[in-house]
Amino acid sequence: MLTGLVQETPTDATAQALLGELLAEADAAEFCRWHRALPDSVRDDPEIHFVEGLWARRQNQPAVAANRFLTVIRRVPEHRRAMMQLASVLELQNHPATTVVRQRADALSQLSQAVDTFLSATGDNNHPAQRVAVGMEDMGRLWESCGWAFYARQQQTTTVWTSEILNRLTPLLQDTLPQTQPTAQLAARIDASGFAEWTTAEALLREPINSSEGPATTTAAPTGIVRFEEIDAGVEFTYFNGDDPTTPGVRMFEQTGGGVAVPDIDLDGYPDIVFTQGSTWPTGQSEPLFDDAHRDQFLRNRRGTRFQNATDILDLPDNGFGQGCAATDFDNDGFPDLYIANVGRNQLLRNMGDGTFLDWSDPAEIHGQKWTTSVAAADLNGDGYPDLFDVNYVQGNDVYEMICGGKGCSPAVFSGTPDEVLLSDGAGRFHQIDDAVPTIDSKGLGVVVFRTGLNTSPSLFIANDQVANFFLRTEHDQTGKFTLANDALLAGLAYNEDGVSMACMGIAIDDANGDGLPDLFVTNFKDEPNTLYSQQQDGLFLDITRMTGLKAP
């Protein structure tokens, strides 16, 4: 359909850019033919330059890509996607403007998120409008800042901040004032002397095209077909989310579900399954009730033939509203232990090696009372002992009591809860590291620990709900203090390709394209496309969801 539209109206720059972006990822020969055939009237359109930047980026030509993205933001300073891409390619070149461009890209995404929050808000809450107005002023967009302030004052006359903005900016609104103040034009402050000029699409090809029929083929197509068959293996489990059938609507904690761990508990060489379970939660109560009818479940693998529910035999200590689980060996005794994420206090269960588990939360000094949705266990600081990482969700008044209409509550109603790093001391105790994780907009639902192609130390990817994702790289400062640096924006993992925060939840990690590097597949909320992040040789990631046909129209 898009090809037909371009054929009918070749001077439609928007349609041409959409087609070019699809071809840039899918077919090198077709992209080159498309670019050669562009009408002169659209060649200088910012969206065409943006597509050229994507092509250069994919051809491993960051200097050319930087030239194209900079050209876009000179013309359209608020172009969120171009700013994000520019930050990534500047990082590759160790450009001194990397940090300021990164900050502007993040500000543009935060601004977009504030607008979305405002449009979906109900009542007379003008806080999102204030965020938008202040953000517009910070980026030199004074006309729009005043417009938002004026609108908010009309909706709520008692708001003080609107008068402050209007009194400060209205005298500056002259006919000659541009949409963006020249002093706020970031492009003018970027040294482009090291950038390379765009020539032709063919000149940037990493590998020549063998013929006019398509790009060169460097790997053989797979010959096998993977098939899955559903069989009865005895895996029977239903998560209980605390739903109260006598009360209409749902509560926040009824939406998240439980987690799964797959350790070999009995060390027989066959992976077992642990399911975390919820509990009864009376309406209006701030905490759940615990009963034997709802316990975490242990399914033992009977040598690869089927699973047997051995919960009563193992007798896992369970006194929480389960949300997630991680298998670890925190005491390095060879027996897999379990770390359980709960709404409330988390639990560390020590495998005693004789078929029993002990609740080791007190000896391990794990006392937090946050809402933890997922947990991870890995040696983060390189001392040989597994550490713990808590992915926390939201907090606020009535977070457990509020009843939402429709099918769910929005996390935008509540504040985020910062995640937590618990480092092992090697003797079975853990201590929390302060200031090691982001403290703003932390609404996590999923986590995975892995190593990128350029880093031997582990990194953590945290899927956040309706706010930017985190990509935390382990670091030690000059004093040797352990910390985590959030590089999600520069790595291309904070948002999707459009610079939008999705309601990210589950994460799968594998080498999706066979290049030897782990990629990330993130599942999102209802009516949102899932996201496939492809890791590049430079350790950065590209959202290739649309190009791989995984994004619904």
Three-class DSSP category at 263:
coil
CA distance 469 to 486: 9
- Using an 8 Å Cβ cutoff, are 390 and 375 in contact? yes
pLDDT of 281 over the 90 cut: yes
- Using an 8 Å Cβ cutoff, are 149 and 137 in contact? no
Average pLDDT of the chain, as a whole number: 88
Q: How far is CA 506 from the centre of its chain?
A: 10
- Using an 8 Å Cβ cutoff, are 419 and 392 in contact? yes
CA geometry: angle 439, 440, 445, nearest 5 deg: 85
- Reported as a single tens digit per residue, the pLDDT across 328-355 is 999 999 999 999 999 999 999 999 988 8
Question: What structural domains does the chain harbor?
Answer: 44-202 (1.25.40), 240-433 (no CATH), 445-553 (no CATH)
Kindly report the number of other CB atoms within 10 A of residue 103's CB atom: 14
- At 315, give phi and psi (nearest 5°): 55, 60
- Using an 8 Å Cβ cutoff, are 482 and 473 in contact? no
CA distance 361 to 368: 10
pLDDT of 521 over the 50 cut: yes
Beta strands in 310-419 (DSSP E): 322-328, 337-342, 347-351, 357-359, 372-378, 387-392, 394-395, 415-416
Counted residue by residue, the chain has a size of 553
Higher pLDDT, 407 or 92: 92
- Of 545, 547, 444, nearest to 488 (Cα)? 444
Give the tokens for residue 102: 């990164």
- Reported as a single tens digit per residue, the pLDDT across 80-93 is 999 988 988 888 78
- Using an 8 Å Cβ cutoff, are 485 and 470 in contact? no
- Using an 8 Å Cβ cutoff, are 403 and 250 in contact? yes
- At 348, give phi and psi (nearest 5°): -110, 115
Region of poorest pLDDT, from 45-59, 77-91, 122-136: 122-136
- Using an 8 Å Cβ cutoff, are 72 and 85 in contact? no
CA separation, residue 307 to residues 275, 324, 353 (Å): 13, 21, 21
pLDDT at position 158 is 64
